């Protein structure tokens, strides 16, 4: 089993660590690093997936890659990225609770600034529900959101990269 997932573990870990470095660096630069970190995740996730699949194909599987193997290796890769991201961001918020409070305040400020637009689009009750959800938000909520937004594009990019790199023995 390790044969199949060695590159997934390596590049998933690399992607997750780079995501945490990004989050830490962006936390130092901007009050709410969550949105910019998602953008960085859209860059690092496909790169990590491509490298994991390419290394698996070339160095472990003798130049061959079936779609199923690509999906399996890709799944492990993006799940490791997401897991490291969730645990790391949650830990950062637990260690630095003032950062979490700053992010929460920033999100509430965005809601208040765009109040009229949001109400006109979704209605007053949806706005109130969202606002109360933001008030009850905890560090794990933000970390899980970041992890989910590593998984969703991870699945999409895994499908595409697996198709592109697919080569079956004749």
Q: What is the pLDDT along the chain (170 residues), one digit of tens a residue?
A: 677 788 999 999 999 999 999 999 999 999 899 999 999 999 999 999 999 999 999 999 999 999 999 999 999 999 999 999 999 999 999 999 999 999 999 999 999 999 999 999 999 999 999 999 999 999 999 999 999 999 999 999 999 999 999 987 76
**Domain extents for the chain?**
2-95+143-165
Distance CA 124, CA 131 (A): 10
Q: Are 165 and 65 in contact, with CB atoms under 8 Å apart?
A: yes
Among candidates 81, 95, 100, which has minimal Cα distance to 148? 81
Q: Are 69 and 7 in contact, with CB atoms under 8 Å apart?
A: no
Q: At how many degrees (to 10) do helices 115-122 and 124-135 cross?
A: 120
Q: Are 162 and 65 in contact, with CB atoms under 8 Å apart?
A: yes
């Amino acid at each position: 089993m390790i044969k199949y997932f060695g590159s997934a573990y390596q590049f998933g870990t690399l992607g997750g660590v780079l995501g945490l470095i990004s989050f830490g660096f962006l936390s130092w630069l901007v009050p709410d690093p969550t949105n910019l970190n998602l953008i960085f995740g859209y860059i690092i996730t496909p790169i990590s997936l491509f490298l994991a699949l390419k290394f698996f194909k070339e160095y472990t599987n003798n130049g061959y890659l079936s779609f199923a193997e690509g999906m399996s290796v890709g799944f492990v890769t993006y799940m490791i990225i997401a897991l490291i991201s969730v645990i790391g961001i949650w830990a950062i918020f637990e260690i630095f609770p003032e950062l979490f409070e700053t992010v929460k305040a920033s999100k509430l400020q965005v809601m208040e600034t765009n109040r009229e637009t949001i109400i006109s689009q979704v209605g007053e009750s949806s706005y109130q529900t969202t606002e109360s959800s933001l008030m009850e938000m905890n560090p794990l909520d933000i970390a899980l959101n970041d992890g989910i937004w590593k998984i969703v594009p991870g699945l999409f990019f895994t499908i595409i990269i697996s198709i592109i790199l697919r080569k079956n023995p004749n």
